[in-house]
Amino acid sequence: MITKSVSSINEEGSVLPPTTSVEYSLVKIDNLIINQGFQIIITVTSTVNLPLLSAISVDNINKISIVTAIPVQQDGSYKIPLTLNKDKKSASCTIIFFVPQETHVGDTVTFNMAPSFDPSQVAKYKCTVKDIDPNTLNLIVDNQYLQSPYDGTNQTKNGSTKIHTIIKDNTTQKTPLSNTPVFISSTHVNQLEFFELRDAAGLNPLNIIEFEGKKGVMVTSNSEGEIDFSVYAKESLSGGVQLTCIVPGVAQGYSLPIYAIYGGKPDFIHSTGAPSILGYYPPGNLTSDGEKNFIVSVDEYSAPVVGDVIFFLVATKNDPAKYTGQNKTIRDIKKDLGTPSIYVPYQIFEYNVESHFSYVIVRTSGDSLTSMPLPLTYMGGIPYSPEEGVTRDYQACIVYTGMGISKNVIIPNHTVVNLDSIIKYPDGEGTGLYIQILGTDAPGTETDKVPLGTQVTLTSYINSGNINKITSYPSAPVEIKQNDHNKIYAEVHIPYSDLYNIEPFNDIEIGSIQLTYEYTYKGIKSYSEIWSANIQTVPGNGPGYGE
């Protein structure tokens, strides 16, 4: 923003030091692409009335064209009228530029802009014409599935995702393109309405504009060629969006679809029937006969389309409906809807806890339907265990006793967690278990460690005579950081209360605990090897031992 003082008198007749400011939506441009179109919005605000014929003068024009019906001046410049608002103290205009096809890579583009009433508030642009590698426009999504916040609750890490890429030229060197404008939009009209776009820090909303008939935001890469911003789920709203990253007139990249999932009660228009489970008659108990999955039927809804996605949620007395990680994309409407055809694992439910099973349908258009809930109580029949059929390339976590990581008392893989492992010691850090997930700042060479700065989630699977459950730690992913003594890792704590008084199945067989972690890096989800042990933490001296 450029700000300059002009004269003004207040209501009492006193002279004030008022200001007129001119804000350009794109302040710095280093590189442009042959045939690229982009727009700059100029906003003027003042403490005095602006001249009725205010305009933005565009001159020093070289190797760039302006899309306008305004005739060019004799000196080759343009005067683009400002549209005054009712208060006459503010005005704006939008100017669309494009790089002509007859330009060449390496050409220099120049143009200047300034308000006609104060030419000193000039913005000068000097850019180099480049060619772009279109593959670098594809956007990386760190988290595809966002948990929409409930009414009156704060936004969580699970409610947003980073979106990023590095745009590069099309030479063999693949040099990053700094300060280059691109237009972020969506594949379907109105999908952006279900989300909020913010800057990379997640602090400032990005203003939605309309450009070439599409809604979106005009952003520029940073000095390293990085396009970096955030997408947030809106409160009490489900929806979906596939983002596009466009150099208008040149090339277009895509993101993976992003979904916001809200399990609260819908209005009538956006509601649909409860799911049904093959062989289950509500209300009652749901028990596995040894199969890992149960089979769900979702009734056909109004105007289904191939590509709609069904997300399954579970709510309990203590927790509102949350996404289970299980979804189904509609590929064949007749086969996928109205018949028992969707396989869902039993272990999405807590053992012996009254639950409500539901789903949210996010249409390809971006809007959604939410089902009525199906009541049930899962009574077991299949042990909780880590996901099968995935590649586990990363080191298993390291497990420490309640003494803490600093004391280096490790519980080896395939051994036993007992009460002594989780109780408080005089020189220890606390109680429970402390988990270390190793990271690296050189992922290209240390390929079995998690890259520095990545968000990871630890999951615990416990099966025993009295406690059977899956728990994720912490409630939101934790970051791999550089810690004391330059060691790179994430630390996760499993509290004593989650591990205390775990009983054996019988006199012969004791319980089991398995730990894994997962993360998404550059849009790819990765999994760790499994740490496993037997577990028995029944107190020998009565309840409360070790507290």
Give the model's pLDDT for residue 155.
66
Distance of alpha carbon 351 from alpha carbon 316, whole angstroms: 11
Give the model's pLDDT for residue 19.
82
Banded model confidence at residue 265, pLDDT cuts 50, 70, 90: confident
**Sequential DSSP letters for 292-345:** SEEEEE----SS--TT-EEEEEEEESSS--EEEEEEEE-S-HHHHSSSS-EEEE
For residues 382-395, average pLDDT: 95
Give the model's pLDDT for residue 17.
52
Tokens encoding 517: 């972690």
At 420, which helix (H) or strand (E)? helix 419-422
Q: Do 430 and 546 touch, CB atoms closer than 8 A?
A: no
Distance of alpha carbon 476 from alpha carbon 498, whole angstroms: 17
Which domains, from first to last, does the chain contain? 2-130 (2.60.40.3450), 134-261 (2.60.40.10), 268-378 (2.60.40), 392-536 (2.60.40)
- For 250, phi and psi rounded to 5 degrees? -125, -65
Query: Which of 450, 447, 446 is closest to 398 using CA atoms?
Result: 450
In the predicted model, is pLDDT for residue 542 greater than 60?
A: no
Looking at the chain, the number of H-run helices and the number of E-run strands are 2, 47
Written in H, E and C, the secondary structure of 196-256 is: EEEECCCCCECCCEEECCEEEEEEECCCCCEEEEEEEECCCCCEEECEEEEECCCEEEECC
Q: What is the pLDDT of residues 301-360, one digit of tens each?
A: 999 999 999 999 999 998 899 999 999 999 999 999 999 999 999 999 999 999 999 999
Banded model confidence at residue 15, pLDDT cuts 50, 70, 90: very low
Exposure class string for 268-300: b at 16+ Cβ within 10 A, else e: eeeebebbbbeebeeeeebebeeeeebbbebee
Tokens encoding 142: 């760190």
Give the model's pLDDT for residue 3.
41
Distance of alpha carbon 181 from alpha carbon 183, whole angstroms: 7
Give the model's pLDDT for residue 545.
41
Length of the chain: 547
Greater confidence (152 vs 4) lies with: 152
Strand, coil or helix: 497:
helix
Distance of alpha carbon 51 from alpha carbon 91, whole angstroms: 10
Banded model confidence at residue 98, pLDDT cuts 50, 70, 90: very high
Give burial (CB, 10 Å; 0-12/13-18/19+) of 11.
exposed
Which of 6-10, 240-244, 381-385 is predicted with the least confidence, judged by mean pLDDT?
A: 6-10
Give the model's pLDDT for residue 104.
97
Give burial (CB, 10 Å; 0-12/13-18/19+) of 60.
middle
Give the model's pLDDT for residue 430.
95
Query: Which of 69, 29, 33, 101 is closest to 248 using CA atoms?
Result: 33
Pairing of strands 322-329, 309-316: antiparallel
For residues 41-68, average pLDDT: 95
Tokens encoding 106: 């390496």
- Rounded to the nearest 5 degrees, what angle is found at the Cα of 218, between the Cα atoms of 217 and 224? 120
Q: What is the pLDDT of residues 466-494, one digit of tens each?
A: 999 999 998 778 999 998 778 999 999 99
Tokens encoding 478: 């934790």
Q: Do 26 and 240 touch, CB atoms closer than 8 A?
A: no
**Taking the alpha carbons of 100, 106, 107, 113 in that order, is the dihedral positive or negative?**
positive
Give the model's pLDDT for residue 476.
76
Give the model's pLDDT for residue 497.
97
**Taking the alpha carbons of 115, 118, 119, 121 in that order, is the dihedral positive or negative?**
negative
Q: What is the pLDDT of residues 99-120, one digit of tens each?
A: 999 999 999 999 999 999 999 9
Strand, coil or helix: 143:
coil
In the predicted model, is pLDDT for residue 212 greater than 60?
A: yes
Tokens encoding 467: 């406690």
In the predicted model, is pLDDT for residue 543 greater than 60?
A: no
Distance of alpha carbon 336 from alpha carbon 308, whole angstroms: 11
For residues 427-435, average pLDDT: 96
Give the model's pLDDT for residue 475.
77
Per the prediction, the chain carries an average pLDDT of: 93
Distance of alpha carbon 522 from alpha carbon 453, whole angstroms: 12
At 506, which helix (H) or strand (E)? none
Give the model's pLDDT for residue 522.
82
In the predicted model, is pLDDT for residue 167 greater than 90?
A: yes
Distance of alpha carbon 262 from alpha carbon 242, whole angstroms: 18
Q: Do 56 and 82 touch, CB atoms closer than 8 A?
A: yes
Query: Which of 453, 425, 455, 475 is closest to 519 using CA atoms?
Result: 455
Distance of alpha carbon 181 from alpha carbon 33, whole angstroms: 10
Give burial (CB, 10 Å; 0-12/13-18/19+) of 12.
exposed
Distance of alpha carbon 327 from alpha carbon 2, whole angstroms: 50
- Looking at the chain, the whole-number percentage of residues with pLDDT higher than 70 is 94
Distance of alpha carbon 423 from alpha carbon 409, whole angstroms: 13
The residue behind tokens 């683009």 is 80
Query: Which of 469, 453, 547 is closest to 502 using CA atoms?
Result: 469
